Amino acid sequence: MDLSGKVALVTGGGNGIGAATVRALAGAGARVVVADIDAAGAAGVAAEVDGRAIALDVTSEDAWAAAVADVLATEGRLDVAHLNAGIMTRPRGARFDDDVMPWLTLDAYRRLMGVNVEGVILGTLACARAMADGGDIVVTASIAGMVAMGTDPYYALSKAAAASWVRSMGPVLAEAGVRISAVCPGGIDTAIVPADLRATRPDAFSPPSYIAGAVLHAIEAARPGTVWVAYTQGQAPWAYEWPAIHDGGPGV
């Protein structure tokens, strides 16, 4: 894939999947703006690829407006956005087998949905409006949004919402030449996964670079509204097809 002359924005770009995608996009020739609430982390990754870093709170509509205006003023265009910033309910450092119930508070719900859902919605709208010549938006959803995940129900809920948003907005944005799709990772070796789980089952987690490759695959495929499953390293991403729902009920 050749993205020479294109400008990309990656949220949550200071570490993990976001940082890997920054490197992949830059490797394909794009000029990359690395956005993260962790300004220092974003700056470090941007320095690797001769890109630029900006601090961004994805839950703030005003912050999104300022960030996109900054990209257009400095870079002159926006062609690609990877909306990747995300969090889990489980506190960092907590064990995988800890009881999840104490964490399922209203405040925790609002915080998680603010980042994982509102951040995607606000980012989609802000970036799509800035893509005057069309472009590509890729959202990091998750396998967790497609299966039961009792270890973090809020997270699973947020990722199901992200996938549904992509499916629903696909045809809407396509009319303006903007293609939105999602990538659903399986287990990925990042700090968001409890350390004890990664230590116990190291072979179950693919490197972030695997998902970065899936993001580029989604861009190249140019299929609006598609949800791509990237389950494990070595497996090519595949488009998930939801079963049809019939008005007549089961068996019709």
Quote the tokens at residue 151: 């270890």
Known catalytic residues are 155
Q: Which residues pair with 54 in a beta bridge?
A: 35
User: Whole-angstrom Cα distance, residue 190 to residue 182?
Assistant: 19
Q: What's the full length of the chain, in residues?
A: 252
User: Whole-angstrom Cα distance, residue 177 to residue 171?
Assistant: 10
Q: Give the chain's end-to-end CA distance (angstroms, integer).
A: 43
User: Whole-angstrom Cα distance, residue 181 to residue 169?
Assistant: 9
With CA atoms as reference, report the closest residue to 13 among 94, 123, 110. Answer: 123
